[in-house]
Amino acid sequence: MARQKRSTSSTTTSVTKRAEGTSFHQDAFENYLAVYAVDGIRFSAGTLVLFFLNVFLLIPVFSVPFQSLYVYILLPPLAVMNVWAVALIVAPRRLQLNYVLFRGVFGIVCSLGFMIIVQKFAYGMLGLTTPWYAIGSFAVYGFALYQYAKFHLRKLQQSPHRPKAGAGSRMPVATLTMLTGAGYLLANLSLAFVTQQTVAVVLMCVYIMLAFVVFHFIMDVHRYYWLRRVMSIAQGTSVHKTQNS
């Protein structure tokens, strides 16, 4: 979705001040701190939650074999996300900044939800009994998320206008994250030859891939944090100027 920049002088000054106090590049940081356009909030909120999240989580949660544990874990955050999405659809302009946080929380619920569904496929359909698969799954997941976040933050330290030739310096981290996910996929594919339950293994691989893909949304929590800080500084500056005048 397209993002729109704020052009007020107080906000721009606040962004500059915050960038100077961090390791972030000023231009990259200013481009990063942009809210999403109001026009697309309704469609995106409805698509992300009312369709994508509900379909990909509710169907496997209630599918055979039914296990109430997964219902208790996943239904509460799903209910919250659906109510939140409806609120954004009703009042997108009023909740424009809130939508940034919504995307970040969506990424967390979606990504972790997919990993939890993978556990249902592994233990409910494949019949695994060892806890080491779940431990290993979330260990690999946490490592991949850490690498992605590290790569994401590193981009903010670089100029958005630098030559493309410098892109090679970013490859090791990105490649490491991709190889981690690919290795995890191959490990799950190998289960098909052991259990002969190919459908379950394919579903596990699809959900693992989706869990890694939505890392992009999770980083909007970081964006929201900085947006709130910058806007608070801008509001404080405006109040101070008003009092002085």
Cα 236 from Cα 241, distance rounded (Å): 9
Query: pTM of the entire structure?
Result: 0.76
Q: Are residues 78 and 116 in contact, defined by beta-carbon separation less than 8 angstroms?
A: no
Kindly report, residue by residue over 119-170, the tens digit of the pLDDT: 999 998 888 899 999 999 999 999 999 999 888 888 777 666 665 544 444 4
Whether residue 6 has pLDDT greater than 60? no
6, 56, 61, 72, 75 from 68: Cα distances, Å: 47, 17, 9, 6, 10
Q: Which of 102, 82, 83 is nearest to 41 (CA)?
A: 102
Whether residue 38 has pLDDT greater than 50? yes
Residue 218 CB coordination number (10 Å): 22
Overall average pLDDT of the 223-241 stretch? 69
Q: Average pLDDT, whole number, for the chain? A: 78
